[in-house]
């Protein structure tokens, strides 16, 4: 596998190629995500508001991880008075990784603004970004308690593994929502959001792939195994078969059945996987049940879609 790993520039190249796939009209400076006067059907509004739950989570995790401050300090108007996240803090990152995560953080702030300029949105839900929350996720992934408990803020590699947990879930949601949207403004917004979320995931996977065979201290477990276990857990919680793949897979599952390296996850045609809001809730609640809050959302997610399930819990 050693010959597969090049340099960190690979991640940047992958992200750049993904962004180049977005039609020029989506990235034009003449486009403003703020036309609430444009007619958007209620079904679109629901599908556009739901990912705010994930965007809030990503924004806070990346802001705190890179700068030690969250939306309450850096963009308080976007919280709409929602409660502060639990346990989020500045991570022990090397300068290169910190720079990348800081870029992600501000991108997520932009995503929040773009969605809220299009639909009304809702206040930030209560988020649990504590070490304990991530440790529980890792314990569930391995089917045992890791000792010491996994700390996402301990090092750059720890943080990147923790980051592997988050953006990919959101981007599969955008893939799933895309064919259900009706209004042109909705489709344009989701296409643009999906492009950047995919780029973020590609960068994270590329950086981790470079260290895929490194054993994370003190567990003696390779980075590749961490990603495989996390992906397996998300597939299990989502309950809809394979929608997730780690960084190193059996050759028959690699692109065209010819490679074991899996720097980008895709189906048998190397096309991105899609998830429904129900699948996403099962995963981020860590409960396998869209009606049972927990995990990163102790009191549940917000928006009409998520609330409909909470009312039946």
Q: What is the DSSP letter of 271?
A: P
Give percent of the chain above pLDDT 90: 83
What is the distance, to the nearest Å, from the Cα of residue 205 to the centroid of all Cα atoms in its chain? 12
pLDDT tens digits, 297-309: 999 999 999 999 9
Q: Where do the domains of the chain lie?
A: 40-311
pLDDT above 50 (res 78): yes
pLDDT given for residue 247 in this prediction:
95
Q: Quick one: tokens of 306?
A: 């998520």
- pLDDT tens-digit series, residues 213-229: 999 999 999 999 999 99
> Which alpha helices (DSSP H) does the chain contain, by range?
9-20, 24-27, 42-49, 52-67, 71-74, 95-116, 131-142, 156-164, 167-177, 184-209, 223-238, 277-284, 304-310
Question: Would the pLDDT of 25 be above 80?
Answer: no
264-313 residue pLDDT tens = 999 999 999 999 999 999 999 999 999 999 999 999 999 999 999 997 65
Tell me the whole-structure pTM to 2 decimals.
0.89
Q: Which helix (H) or strand (E) holds 235?
A: helix 223-238
Return d(Cα 255, Cα 261) in angstroms, integer: 9
């Amino acid at each position: 596998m050693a010959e597969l790993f090049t340099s960190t520039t690979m991640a940047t190249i992958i992200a750049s190629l993904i962004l180049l796939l977005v039609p020029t009209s989506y990235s034009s400076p003449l486009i403003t995500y703020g036309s609430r006067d444009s007619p958007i059907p209620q079904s679109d509004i629901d599908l556009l508001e739901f990912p705010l739950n994930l965007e809030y989570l990503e924004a806070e995790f990346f802001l705190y991880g890179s700068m030690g401050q969250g939306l309450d300090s850096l963009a308080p108007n976007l919280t709409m008075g929602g409660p502060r996240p639990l346990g989020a803090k500045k991570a022990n990152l090397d300068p290169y990784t910190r720079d990348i995560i800081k870029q992600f953080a501000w991108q997520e702030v932009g995503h929040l603004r773009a969605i809220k300029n299009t639909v009304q949105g809702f206040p930030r839900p209560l988020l649990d970004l504590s070490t304990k929350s991530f440790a529980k996720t890792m314990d569930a992934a391995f089917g045992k308690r890791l000792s010491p408990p996994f700390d996402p803020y301990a090092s750059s590699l720890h943080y990147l593994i923790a980051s592997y947990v988050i953006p990919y879930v959101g981007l599969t949601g955008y893939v799933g929502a895309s064919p259900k949207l009706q209004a042109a403004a909705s489709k344009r917004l989701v296409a643009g959001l999906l492009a950047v979320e995919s780029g973020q995931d590609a960068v994270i996977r590329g950086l981790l792939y470079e260290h895929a065979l490194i054993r994370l201290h003190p567990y003696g477990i390779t980075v590749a195994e961490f990603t495989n276990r996390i992906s397996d857990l998300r597939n299990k919680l989502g309950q809809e078969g394979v929608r997730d793949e780690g960084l190193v897979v059996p050759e028959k599952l690699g692109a065209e059945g010819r490679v074991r390296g899996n720097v980008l996850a895709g189906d048998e045609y190397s096309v991105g996987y899609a998830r429904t809001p129900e699948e996403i809730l099962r995963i981020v609640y860590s409960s396998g049940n869209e009606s049972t809050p927990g995990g990163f959302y102790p009191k549940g997610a917000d928006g009409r879609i998520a609330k409909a399930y909470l009312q039946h819990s």
